[in-house]
Amino acid sequence: MSKGITSRNEDYSQWYNELVTKADLAEHSSVRGCMVIKPYGYSIWEKMQAALDKMFKDTGHTNAYFPLFIPKSFFSKEASHVEGFATECAVVTHYRLKNDGSGNIIVDEEAKLEEELIVRPTSETIIWNTYRGWIQSYRDLPILVNQWANVVRWEMRTRLFLRTAEFLWQEGHTAHATSEEAIEEAEKMLHVYADFAENWLAVPVVRGVKTPNERFAGAIETYCIEALMQDGKALQAGTSHFLGQNFAKAFDVKFTSKEGKLDHVWATSWGVSTRLMGALIMAHSDDQGLVLPPKLAPIQVVIVPIYKSAEELNRISEVADALVKELKAMDISVKFDDRDTQRPGFKFAEYELKGVPVRVAMGARDLENGTAEIARRDTREKQTVNQEGLASYIENLLGEIQENIYQKALKFRNDSITKADTYEDFKKILDEKGGFVSAHWDGTPETEQRIKEETKATIRCIPLDNALEDGVCILTGQPSKQRVLFARAY
């Protein structure tokens, strides 16, 4: 593992790309815009899935599965929805290939679909078409369903995890009898996402709502969590939408209330995706490689023996095997790397690159002294520790690393929220410091759009519980009642 990676200072974007491929997380496939998620990367995603899935179930949701394909006519029923996704749809038009007679495989023109099928970019339409059959009365509500699935949004410029034509995600789709209940659900799931981001990814997030410009196509309100990457750019880490009755109206989904009144059903949808892998990587990692929060690390502890003879290795293995057993009993995932094909220095570099939170090294001297050398990945500090009580020491250390990574990211994020009261200041902060800029805005889409065009910064969100404050818009000087958070973003 001697291949170095470009440093963040040198080229942040290149650093990211190299890290993703060299740490064996993912790679570009031969299919334009689609990625291969490699076993090591996928095992991190599995840990995310397991934690999120439990949180969804603990809040009363169940999983289901809906079709990959959406008939074009369904897709077109909610006007703003189709407008939002039309330009990035993969379209299935045929259902058969054939041999052209001279050995070439071609599309069989006789097997043309009467109606084209869209590969789902999101599933509101097919799901609400299904819900029509599931909902008659208030007794059938709420429906609290989630789906783990792949979706496709055709992208011209792709980056591994951050923007790919196909990605993996979960999409919750709930149906409610009242507007209030649906809004409560949308907000609840936003907080579930925020808790997950902060307590599992160790990434602090701002909870807020999007401006109308940035809303999901078909939503009345889009809640979001916004994270900050080390290069000062923001990343939208999850969204939760209050959809009002838009999809119920488009798909004619009505229910009879307790009072016997017929009304359209209220909806939410919410999702996070493999994009979270990008957030995780960019928020914590350093020039030596990945830094993983222990709660999501596929290997939490690695033990590397340092030996000169088979006899030494045997003696080290005895101690190591006992430690492995103890750690496993604590539900800590541990690997004892006794490969004799690689030297310790190579292994050290490999596990640094892969972000293993705790490394234990043991040599002949350690055996004599009853010690081990512990290196933590986050600070790269090393310490000599007694073998007695080592498992508990490591268990505590993992907790400490999880907390330290979060606090470091939190401090960086908090230091990166800067107030700007003039447009000059605003642009200067964006160019020189980056991060979130907290500024007054006159509330019009036109101003938002012009600022975006001139500075590449978008309004990331209006934070929940934002303080009201009189001020004037940085661009137009029009009166404003609150600051909003701008940033350049992924």
In the complex, the residues that contact Zn ion under the rule CB under 5 A are: 208, 224, 226, 460-461
CB of 327 to its own copies, least distance (A): 18
CB of 427 to its own copies, least distance (A): 35
Element (H, E) at 457: none
> Dihedral sign, CA of 354, 359, 362, 363?
positive
* 30 counts as binding its own copies under rule CB under 8 A: yes
Taking the complex as a whole, how short is the minimal distance between the CB of residue 99 and its own copies, in angstroms? 7
**Contact residue for its own copies among 80, 99, 396, 414 (CB under 8 A):** 99
**Structural element, H or E, at residue 425:** helix 423-432
Nearer to its own copies, 166 or 378 (CB): 166
Say which amino acid occupies 323: L
Q: Which of 346, 354, 398, 350 is nearest to 374 (CA)?
A: 398
Residue 72 to residues 65, 83, 87, 95, 455: CA-CA distances in angstroms? 20, 13, 13, 16, 37
252 binds its own copies (CB under 8 A): no
Nearer to its own copies, 270 or 426 (CB): 270
> Would you count residue 482 as binding its own copies (CB under 8 A)?
no
Here the tokens at position 106 are 């071609």
- Among the listed ranges 117-125, 171-179, 187-195, 354-362, the one in contact with its own copies (CB under 8 A) is 117-125
Q: Which of 117, 320, 323, 372 binds its own copies (CB under 8 A)?
A: 117
Check: CB of residue 117 under 8 Å from CB of residue 94. Answer: no
Residues 51-90 that bind its own copies (CB under 8 A): 62-72, 74-76, 82-83, 86-90
Least Å from the CB of residue 330 to its own copies: 19
Question: For residue 336, what are the CA distances in angstroms to 299, 316, 346, 384?
Answer: 10, 11, 15, 18
Single out the residue of 327, 303, 304, 305 nearest to residue 316, CA to CA: 305
311 binds its own copies (CB under 8 A): no
Nearer to its own copies (CB atom), residue 12 or residue 69 = 69
Q: What is the CA radius of gyration of the chain?
A: 26
Q: Quick one: which of 92, 382, 446, 454 contacts its own copies (CB under 8 A)?
A: 92
Specify whether the backbone of 462 is left (phi greater than 0), alpha (psi in -120 to 50) or beta: beta
Interface size with its own copies, residues (CB under 8 A): 64
Residues 369-388 that bind its own copies (CB under 8 A): none
Q: Restricting to residues 335-364, which ones interact with its own copies according to CB under 8 A?
A: 341
Q: Which does 2 bind (CB under 5 to 8 A by kind): Zn ion, its own copies, none?
A: none
What are 371's strand-pairing partners? 386
Name 238's bridge partners.
225
Nearer residue to its own copies within complex by CB, 82 or 372: 82
Residue 469: CB minimum distance to its own copies, A: 42
Distance CA(459)–CA(466), nearest Å, equals 14
Select the residue interacting with its own copies from 22, 38, 163, 254 (CB under 8 A).
Answer: 38
Establish if 145 lies at the interface with its own copies (CB under 8 A). yes
- Return the SS3 of 175: strand
- The Cα 461–Cα 235 span in angstroms is 11
For 321, the token pair is: 């095997």
126 is a contact residue toward its own copies (CB under 8 A) = yes
Pick from 186, 162, 317: nearest CA to 240: 186
Binding footprint of its own copies on the chain (CB under 8 A): 27, 29-31, 34-39, 42-43, 45-46, 62-72, 74-76, 82-83, 86-99, 104-105, 107, 116-119, 126, 129-130, 133, 139, 145, 149-150, 152, 154, 166, 168, 341
